[in-house]
Structure 1
Amino acid sequence: MSTILLPNKNRQFYTYETKPYVAFDIPKDKAFEKRIAYSAAHVVADPMAVNDPTLDSQIDWDKTMEYRHYLWSLGLSVAEAMDTAQRGMGLDWNNAKELISRSIKEAKSVGGNIASGVGTDHLEASPTVSLSDVEQAYEEQASFVEGEGGRIILMASRALAACAKGPEDYQRVYNKILQGVSEPVILHWLGDMFDPALKGYWGHEDLDKAMEVCLQIIRDNEEKVDGIKISLLDKQKEIDMRRLLPESVKMYTGDDFNYPELIKGDEKGYSHALLGIFDAIAPAAAAAMHALDKADWQQYDDLLEKTVPLSRHIFQSPTFSYKTGVVFMAYLNGHQDHFRMIGGKEGARSIVHLSDLFVMANDAGLLRDPEMASHRMKLVLELAGVRQEVTV
């Protein structure tokens, strides 16, 4: 156990003591049987690059690939080049291409499951962009991923949101792209809490009307849609849509607030997982998926419910800054030797936010070496001017 001095939101300080780590029970070389579980994975910045990190960040490819191998070793699938990897928020298409190519090769080397994000982020999001431009951008990225032997997650498009005049424009673009892919894809409906530029996606700000447009696109292209991930942080909307999907189409939850309940499901169905929070809580998530396979609902609940306060904290408003918390967890747990991010996003959360995250991670049993995590937390606190007057 370690003792640390932490600040609270009232600008006061308190002494906190970590608890011992108890390893999660994760069977080796045993696949999940009842749910598909993707972790959207983060990228590790190269802290020694001389480039301006806010303009041209560089990636530490070795550490980035190492973390993907860690996720695969737990039995998790990897959702690559998504918003968790700061796609469109520090990670441009050129770097995304290299990330996708490297990750697919690494996945094949260990038999890991992977799917990669396809979008239009190399296209300027402007009302002057045409629907044809959007289609060509989607086709370019889809062709690249399929050319690398990868599966596609069809991400929402800022450019389409900027130029679409109504639902019919979304239908035109998605129908064209879906009919052109070789294998069924996972669609991604990302809410504007994750990306304000996507407000009114599918041609409606009203979520029920937007959902009907999305459902019609899925029905019209059912053979080309493996499933849909929705990230609206509204569990009832996800349940409603889940019950309206064609039988062959899966629901992948992207709800980082209500994932335990949505993955568990009800008498009418359940959601698979495609979650950014699974990057931060990977061992608990993997252990919970094995508990679900055994129908050990008590263990499943015990494992995941402890992670919910942490997840809600990491994904609090502004939600798009959640990547900072995910990378901070990787730093605390020794998966990278620094707390630097592409785009300089390590500064997107306050020192009080990070201190509370440290406590919640410890409460959830997710600090695999509490002494190391405390030491690293102290370094960050000292940098923020919080002197440590307690000893380990």
Structure 2
Amino acid sequence: MASIVLPDLDRSTGTLVLGEPARLDTRSAAPTSRAVYAASHVVADPLRASAENAADQIDWDATLQLRRDLWSLGLGVAESMDTAQRGMGLDWAGARELAVRTLTEAKSVGGRVVVGVATDQLKTDSPSLEEIRDAYLEQVEAIESAGGEVVLMASRHLARAASGPDDYLSVYDAVLSAATRPVVLHWLGSVFDPALDGYWGFSDPSAAMDTVLQIIDNHRERVRGIKVSLLDPALEIALRRRMPDGVRVFTGDDYNYVDLIAGDGTHTSDALLGAFAALGPFASAAFARLDDGDEQGFRNILGPTETLSRLLFAAPTQYYKVGVAWLAYLGGKQDHFRMIGGFETGRSLTHLAELVRAGDAIGLFTDPDFTAARASAYFAVHGIR
């Protein structure tokens, strides 16, 4: 049986015997009960990955294969967003190239894609509101001209420059008025990015909700929905109860997605989740059950995955991408455990070991012998035998 010597939190070591992989009935067709996107990560070129400029550090073949794998499971891809290290190794030039390559690949296989746009091409930390507006417009135009639909990501620049909710209303009004395709807004909480504290003009998210809804009401014909990444299920539920008809709430709550997607009998959330990059087969199988009207089957498959997801997204939450790449490496989706910008150093060996245990607990590893060999070799290099 496949076994691994793993470090424990108390600095001792223990042996884990890997169990059998989960048996999942996945589907290649897109779910009909919900709109579902997985925010995928990027695979680094191991020979170039470093703390230097990350624009030329991507292994394009391996990165695009991750997207093909998600499409084959019926899942859409959310591109050039947080999971792809946007703003944490991946700049606008790299994000644009990634988006264009993914959109081109999607056309060849019929895959669904939404692409994150922001203001990260700005070279100053203190731009004017007009410069922020123009930066958004430049990125929207670039993605739409390539055939993509955008997710209007929260802007660190706007969080610094705005003096109150009216400044957000002004910038978003200009950008949404210029969009030619349906837009998904993005409410990213400070737990994911501390630089976004006070977004929409209020430190209290409950107060900020009025600004969000005013923006949506003013541009209902252009807003497809909003991705909510606050790790606050009560606030997401309150928001979706106030949402205009036809405007979707995409949960980005990687702690509580099962209940939020299943809904309360009246309102439900769609999904745009970084966790699904690591849990693609589970998501595919679970939504197949939900499509068939089997909510309990959906919960039975996806419910146990929340323990792993919560560990992936443990504080400091922005380093969850490390766990996504680590699990991809252990599952044979990439040939090494290096990340652009040297980002893999953001998690400890004990955290990586806990991810192995949590992944094994749900049957994540489809080839236990392969996973054990990879994990054992990695930990052995660091003196854990």
TM-score range relative to shorter protein: over 0.9
2:105 is aligned with 1:106: yes
CA distance in 1, matches of 2:27, 2:84: 28
Query: How many angstroms does 1:318 deviate by?
Result: 0.2
Q: Any idea what SS the aligned residue of 2:69 has? A: helix
TM-superposition CA deviations, 1:28-48 (whole Å, max 9, x none): 4x3311101100010000012
The CA deviation at 1:285 is 0.6
RMSD between aligned alpha carbons?
1.1
In the TM superposition, residue 125 of structure 1 has moved relative to its aligned partner by 5.9
Ranges of 4+ aligned residues in structure 1 off by more than 6 Å: none
Give 1:250's aligned residue.
Answer: 248
| Deviation (angstroms), 1:174 | 0.3
Give the partner amino acid of 1:341.
Answer: M
Maintained 8 Å contact 2:85/2:321: yes
TM-score (norm 1): 0.96
Q: Distance in 2 between matches of 1:33 and 1:209?
A: 34
Structure 1 residue aligned with 2:183: 185
In structure 2, what is the equivalent of residue 18 of structure 1? 18
Q: Aligned partners of 1:125, 1:200: CA distance in 2, in Å?
A: 20
8 A contact 1:40–1:79 mirrored in 2: yes
Q: Which amino acid aligns with 2:119?
A: T
Out of 155-164 and 374-383, give the one that drifted further: 374-383
Of 316, 338, 341, the match for 1:340: 338
Partner deviation per Cα, 1:153-177 (whole Å, 9 max, x = no partner): 1000011011111100000000110
Task: Give the corresponding residue for 2:231.
Answer: 233
The alpha-carbon deviation at position 54 of structure 1 amounts to 3.9
1:138-153 matches, cutoff 5 A: 138-153=136-151
Match of 1:278 among 248, 272, 276: 276
Does structure 2 conserve the Cα–Cα contact (< 8 Å) formed by 1:38 and 1:275?
A: yes
Query: What is the alpha-carbon distance in structure 2 between the residues aligned to residue 180 and residue 227 of structure 1?
Result: 17
Which residue pairs with 2:3 in the alignment?
3
Contact 1:23 1:368 in 2 (8 A): no
Distance 2:263 2:242 in 1: 15
Mapped contact 1:125–1:162 kept (Cα < 8 A): no
Counterpart code for 1:133: E
* Residue identity in the other structure for 2:361: D
Q: 2:299 aligns with which of 301, 321, 334?
A: 301
* 1:17-60 deviation line (CA, Å, top 9, x unaligned): 001223310134x33111011000100000122x7444335100
**8 A contact 1:256–1:312 mirrored in 2:** yes
**Given that residues 6 and 355 in structure 1 are in contact (C-alpha distance below 8 angstroms), is that contact kept between their aligned partners in structure 2?**
yes
Q: Which residue of 2 aligns with 1:268?
A: 266
* CA deviations over 1:169-223 (Å, ceiling 9, x no partner): 0000001100100011000000011111101000100111111111111111111
Matches within 5 A, 1:152-191: 152-191=150-189
The aligned residue for residue 209 of structure 2 is 211
Question: What is the DSSP-based 3-state SS (H/G/I as helix, E as strand, rest coil) of the residue aligned with 1:223?
Answer: coil
2:27 touches 2:284 (CA, 8 Å); kept in 1?
Answer: no
Q: CA deviation at 1:383?
A: 2.2
- Answer yes or no: is the 8 Å Cα contact 1:124–1:159 preserved in 2: no
Q: Equivalents in 1 of 2:38, 2:159: separation in Å?
A: 26
| Deviations 1:207-262, CA, capped at 9 Å, x for gaps | 11111111111111111100000100000000000000101100000000000000
State the distance in 2 between where 1:40 and 1:369 align. 24
How many percent identity over aligned positions? 48
**2:82 is aligned with 1:83:** yes
Q: Which runs of 5+ in 1 are unaligned?
A: 388-392
What TM-score does the superposition give when structure 2 sets the normalisation length?
Answer: 0.98
SS in 1 for 2:228: strand
- Of residues 318, 321, 324, the one that matches 2:322 is 324
Partner Cα distance (2:179, 2:12) in 1: 56
Is 1:368 aligned with 2:372? no
**Hey, what's the Cα distance between the residues in 1 that align with 2:4 and 2:226?**
43
In 1, are the aligned partners of 2:27 and 2:74 still within 8 Å (CA)?
no
SS of residue paired to 1:373 = helix
What is the aligned length? 384
Instruction: Quote the Cα distance in structure 1 between the aligned partners of 2:307 and 2:373.
Output: 23
Q: Which moved more, 1:52-61 or 1:72-81?
A: 52-61
Tell me how far apart the structure 1 counterparts of residues 36 and 147 of structure 2 sit (CA, whole Å).
20
Matched residue type, 1:132: E
- 1:91-130 to structure 2, matched below 5 A, reads 91-124=90-123, 126=125, 128-130=126-128
Task: Supply the AA of the counterpart residue of 1:61.
Answer: W
Contact 2:22 2:362 in 1 (8 A): no
SS for the counterpart of 1:15 is strand
**CA distance in structure 1 between the partners assigned to 2:114 and 2:159 by the alignment:** 24
Hey, what does 1:390 align to over in structure 2? none
Q: Does structure 1 conserve the Cα–Cα contact (< 8 Å) formed by 2:50 and 2:340?
A: no
- Please give the per-residue CA displacement for 1:273-309, whole angstroms capped at 9, x wherever unaligned: 0000000011001100101111222221111111011
Find the counterpart in structure 2 of residue 196 from structure 1: 194
